[in-house]
């Protein structure tokens, strides 16, 4: 049985094709202005990667902020459920999932039966999100893929960054550059402030091991290390942490398809 999960996030669109109990292929592309077009593109790329046609896919579930706009999905399911499903499929021992995406940051707590027992969401402002880090990376003129490593290569104490609002933080960063503070130290200061902010969400949700970080920001090793320091626990990171929501959607699609075929 071939099923698919498609996650239309604020920043990245992801598709996972799932067959015979494992991931067949996946694709990640930037979310464009038109969600319908984005969903068609990301699905087409995953199909090419898996050497399949759309007609071969028996059931499709969509998730993410653009989930209602996927024309070829039979069902849509919330990101919270899909992230928990995908994370627990990869690592059944996970009890706390921190998903840091482009526009929001969420903490999901699961029990030993894999049931969601609590979740806390930060969606009101950019603090503690990928978008915040994207703005800082652009301000520092460093590619997003490099900011994590750069933040760990330090010669001096990082500055204390007080602003949690992205616009004020950008101004603070420009001022630090003018004062000759090295970009790596600035990044470390930014990550420390962001990690503290995110930790308050984890604290609210209640922390328990094992701990997993998902979403595109889980690829940022500097942020991962800061979060590990805050919770005093090693984070589990999937091979491709950005597709965990789409994987969960594909798993729901497999279950729904099996039910429909009964």
Q: How many CB atoms lie within 10 A of CB 111?
A: 11
- Answer yes or no whether residue 81 interacts with ligand ADP by CB under 6 A: no
Q: Which is nearer to ligand ADP, 2 or 195 (CB)?
A: 195
Helices and strands in the chain: count of H runs, count of E runs = 8, 10
Short-list 247, 253, 258, CA closest to 91 = 247
Sheet hosting strand 22-30, strand order edge to edge: 22-30, 12-19, 2-8, 59-63, 75-76
Question: What residues numbered 158-197 form the site for ligand ADP, per CB under 6 A?
Answer: none
Q: Whose Cβ is closer to ligand ADP: residue 78's or residue 103's?
A: 103
The terminus-to-terminus CA distance of the chain in angstroms comes to 13
Query: Looking only at residues 206 through 225 of this chain, which bind ligand ADP when binding is defined by CB under 6 A?
Result: 215-217, 219-220
**9 is an interface residue for ligand ADP by CB under 6 A:** yes
Q: Is 134 in the site for ligand ADP (CB under 6 A)?
A: yes
Min CB(2)–ligand ADP separation in Å? 24
The Cα–Cα gap between 151 and 222 comes to 6
Residues in 84-113 that interact with ligand ADP by CB under 6 A: 101-103
Q: Which stretches of the chain bind ligand ADP, using CB under 6 A?
A: 9-12, 31, 64, 101-103, 130-131, 133-134, 144-145, 148, 215-217, 219-220, 242
């Amino acid at each position: 049985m071939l099923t698919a999960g498609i996650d239309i996030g604020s920043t990245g669109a992801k598709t996972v094709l799932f067959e015979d109990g494992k991931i067949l292929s996946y694709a990640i592309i930037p979310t464009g202005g038109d969600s319908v077009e984005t969903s068609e593109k990301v699905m087409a790329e995953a199909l090419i990667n898996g050497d399949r046609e759309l007609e071969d896919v028996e059931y499709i579930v969509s998730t993410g902020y653009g989930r209602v706009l996927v024309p070829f999905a039979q069902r849509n399911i919330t990101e919270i459920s899909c992230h928990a499903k995908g994370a627990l499929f990869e690592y059944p021992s996970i009890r706390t999932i921190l998903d840091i995406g482009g526009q929001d940051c969420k903490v999901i707590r699961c029990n030993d039966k894999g049931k969601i027992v609590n979740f806390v969401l930060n969606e009101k402002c950019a603090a503690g999100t990928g978008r915040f880090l994207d703005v800082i990376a652009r301000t520092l003129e460093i590619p997003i893929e490099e900011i994590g490593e750069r933040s760990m290569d330090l010669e001096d104490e990082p500055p204390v960054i007080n602003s949690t609002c992205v616009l004020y933080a950008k101004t603070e960063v420009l001022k630090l550059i003018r004062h000759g503070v090295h970009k790596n130290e600035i990044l470390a200061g930014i990550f420390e402030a962001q990690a503290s902010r995110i930790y308050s969400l984890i604290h609210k949700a209640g922390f328990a091991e094992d701990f997993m970080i998902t979403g595109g920001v889980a690829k940022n090793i500097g942020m991962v290390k800061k979060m590990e320091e805050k919770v005093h626990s090693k984070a589990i990171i999937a091979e491709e942490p950005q597709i965990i929501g789409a994987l969960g959607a594909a798993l729901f699609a497999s279950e729904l398809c099996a039910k429909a075929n009964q």
